[in-house]
A and B are shown apart, each in its own frame.
Chain A
């Protein structure tokens, strides 16, 4: 069943909806809660924290970012069905802005000490130390913004089409952007490793 087999999952993956999630006048009044906020929050909160935590390396800070992002969502008229992607992109932007603006007080050492529990890498030979993680995040802050956002979103699981739409890139250039970012971060890790 060639066409059948190809067409079914392709639809699941490639179909992308989209509307600009800019706050609009019919958003809830200040102090009011969107009626769908509860459902969206419970569905997406963990994922949004995860995106921010990739940037920040700290669960506590990531939760602060997630709170900000959900409050912004509450004031917007982004449809609930599109909330997941919108929130992820917003979390990446906000977290990157945070580490760039110097609002982040923690030093690399503090970051390492308070780092979130680390999951096991799924590539057995890849071993990354806490110090390397904090170096990668420092390097992340120095990357061109678009590269950094693309990298974080891609590693957070957004598809190339989703990343492309979020950053106004062509899907074909997402790979190039992500590759450049990874190459830069890899060099940062290698440079440090070779200096020891």
Chain B
């Protein structure tokens, strides 16, 4: 495969989700591309620092000036060139905002992390009882091992979210209670769109030959697979789920409240711990992350949520007696609360600060 372009490498820094999977895989295994990626990152950081300017402004004084000028506006004002309008993101530019879009997309990766991990990577035998964030540098995201190189990953089930007309239909089709929001945060009004997704199963079957070949191509030595692993499968089941999505004033989703049957996993023919420890030893997984994962999955009940720690902060809070993981982009443009209760995982996410999403989360009925 030819090397991805400079533009693709640049986007990988900001919007990894916008880069094709094949390109990400290539970059992760290509020393030349990793070097180019590092140089790209350096340039972006340097220019970003050079262009940084904090806009510490007196808004009331500026408004007085504008309203006076607009009211009196006899003098012609030079208009900027007509430009396409874009949807507004809720502005919180009071502090240094260097990469809000990058953070937003990384945030997408964060929330996708549960699913991605479930589908491709670590498949502990567990019944999710809680969610815990695992810190990653965003650069590590491209280095995470793709388990398709080590066997087959088969996804089955209804993995598309589809809109349904109302809460009653959503409940009927998902079998879940649709959480009711007590009070919408400011800026959010109207009725949500209801969406439903079905149960999804991901099955990973280890293939020793394929794994050895993949490791050799990457210049790595595959750790010796434990006896009985070849051909063994791990199966993870999650869903169904239901989501309510409110539009913000800009027309973009402003608040999302989702609930789904939490993932659980099963293995075939081999103790789970054996599979887990072997997968964790595969080349490409950062050792510190592997160590964290071992800790997190020791009791077989914690769903690891990979978080790009340079972009997202994580804390824990209490939501109605359950420990919840709170995620917030460092620029404070997005926040989410995720928790598990009675085998169901609930997420509240939106373009708000953590206090506001927690208020919504605690007000769910």
Interface residues of B in 236-254 (CB under 8 A from A): 238-239, 241, 243, 245, 248-254
B 190-223 to A, binary, CB cutoff 8 A, 1 in contact else 0:
0000010100101000000000000000000000
A8–B349 CB distance below 8 A? yes
Residue B328 at the chain A interface, CB threshold 8 Å: no
Q: For the side of the interface on A, what is the size category?
A: 35 or more
Residue B17 at the chain A interface, CB threshold 8 Å: yes
A166–B85 Cα distance when bound, in Å, is 7
B238–A2 CB distance below 8 A? yes
- Residues of the B chain whose Cβ atoms lie less than 8 Å from the Cβ of A126: 45-46, 48-49
Cβ contact of B202, chosen from A2, A43, A88, A173, cutoff 8 A: A2
A186–B40 Cα distance when bound, in Å, is 10
Residue B22 at the chain A interface, CB threshold 8 Å: no
A 43-60 to B, binary, CB cutoff 8 A, 1 in contact else 0:
111110110011001010
A54–B11 CB distance below 8 A? no
Residue A154 at the chain B interface, CB threshold 8 Å: yes
Residue B294 at the chain A interface, CB threshold 8 Å: no
B 68-98 to A, binary, CB cutoff 8 A, 1 in contact else 0:
0111111001111111111111110111111
Interface residues of A in 1-48 (CB under 8 A from B): 1-13, 15-23, 30-31, 33, 37-38, 41-47
A89–B86 CB distance below 8 A? yes
- Residues of the A chain whose Cβ atoms lie less than 8 Å from the Cβ of B50: 128, 132-133, 136, 185, 189
Whether A83 touches B88, Cβ cut-off 8 Å, given contacts A49-B55, A63-B57, A67-B69, is yes
- Residues of the A chain whose Cβ atoms lie less than 8 Å from the Cβ of B43: 179, 182-183, 185-186
Interface residues of B in 51-70 (CB under 8 A from A): 51-57, 59, 62-63, 65-67, 69-70
Interface centre among A6, A94, A128, A168 (most CB of B within 10 A): A6
Whether A175 touches B91, Cβ cut-off 8 Å, given contacts A45-B57, A155-B51, is no
A159–B245 Cα distance when bound, in Å, is 21
B71–A33 CB distance below 8 A? yes
CB distance from A59 to the nearest CB of B (A): 7
Tell me the interface secondary structure of chain A in the complex.
Answer: helix
B107–A84 CB distance below 8 A? no
- Residues of the A chain whose Cβ atoms lie less than 8 Å from the Cβ of B160: 3
Residue B27 at the chain A interface, CB threshold 8 Å: no
A68–B86 CB distance below 8 A? no
Cβ contact of A154, chosen from B49, B101, B116, cutoff 8 A: B101
Whether A20 touches B91, Cβ cut-off 8 Å, given contacts A66-B62, A90-B80, is no
Residue B149 at the chain A interface, CB threshold 8 Å: no
A157–B14 Cα distance when bound, in Å, is 10
User: Which residues of B does A touch, CB under 8 Å?
Assistant: 5-11, 14-15, 17-18, 40, 42-57, 59, 62-63, 65-67, 69-74, 77-91, 93-101, 104-105, 107-108, 110-116, 118-119, 155, 159-161, 195, 197, 200, 202, 238-239, 241, 243, 245, 248-254, 256, 258, 260-263, 310, 330-331, 333-334, 336, 345, 347, 349-351
User: Which residues of A does B touch, CB under 8 Å?
Assistant: 1-13, 15-23, 30-31, 33, 37-38, 41-47, 49-50, 53-54, 57, 59, 62-63, 66-72, 74-75, 78-86, 88-91, 93-94, 97, 115-123, 126-128, 132-133, 136, 151-152, 154-160, 162, 165-166, 168, 171-183, 185-186, 189
